């Protein structure tokens, strides 16, 4: 069982930066692939980024590639999402997710079996 708690969301102007954190409970954090997803009002949830168990491999949605960076610190049981050059279209509720199932990157939310409660990111123009 893994409990995930996101933090770091807020209001920022276009072009600004935010860093999201996701703290995980449990002793086996390094056994989980981790991902970030987002959902804007009236839209479906979409994949943002994922990272392998040891952080050696990352994968990004095209919409955030070059602007967002996912990382993890297994000693702190935490995964991060550094978001730079933010755009109004990045406005959404951002969710952290963990998967004990997958062995490679997966954009499908159904591959993740644990989810956080989300943190709101609002980018003003």
Average pLDDT over residues 81-90: 98
% residues pLDDT > 90 (the chain): 90
**Does 70 have pLDDT greater than 80?**
yes
pLDDT recorded at residue 96: 98
pLDDT at 26: 78
Residue 103's pLDDT is 86
- Residue that wins the pLDDT comparison between 103 and 57: 57
pLDDT for position 102: 87
Mean per-residue pLDDT, 71-90: 97
* pLDDT(27) > 90: no
Q: First-to-last CA distance in the chain?
A: 40
**For residues 94 and 118, is the Cβ–Cβ distance under 8 A?**
yes
Average pLDDT value for the chain: 95
Q: What is the pLDDT of residues 91-125, one digit of tens each?
A: 999 999 999 988 899 999 999 999 999 999 999 99
**From CA 10, how far away is CA 19, in angstroms rounded?**
10
- Tell me which residue has tokens 């839209």: 43
């Amino acid at each position: 069982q893994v409990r995930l708690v996101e933090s770091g969301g807020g209001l920022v102007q276009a072009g600004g930066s935010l860093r999201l954190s996701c703290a995980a409970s449990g002793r086996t954090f390094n056994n989980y692939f981790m991902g970030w997803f987002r959902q804007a009002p009236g839209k479906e949830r979409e994949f943002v980024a994922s990272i392998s168990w040891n952080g050696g491999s990352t994968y990004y949605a095209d919409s955030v590639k070059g602007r967002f960076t996912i990382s993890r610190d297994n000693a702190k049981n935490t995964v991060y999402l550094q978001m730079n050059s933010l755009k109004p279209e990045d406005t959404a509720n951002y969710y952290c997710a963990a998967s004990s199932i997958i062995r490679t990157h997966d954009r499908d939310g159904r591959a993740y079996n644990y989810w956080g409660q989300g943190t709101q990111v609002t980018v003003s123009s």
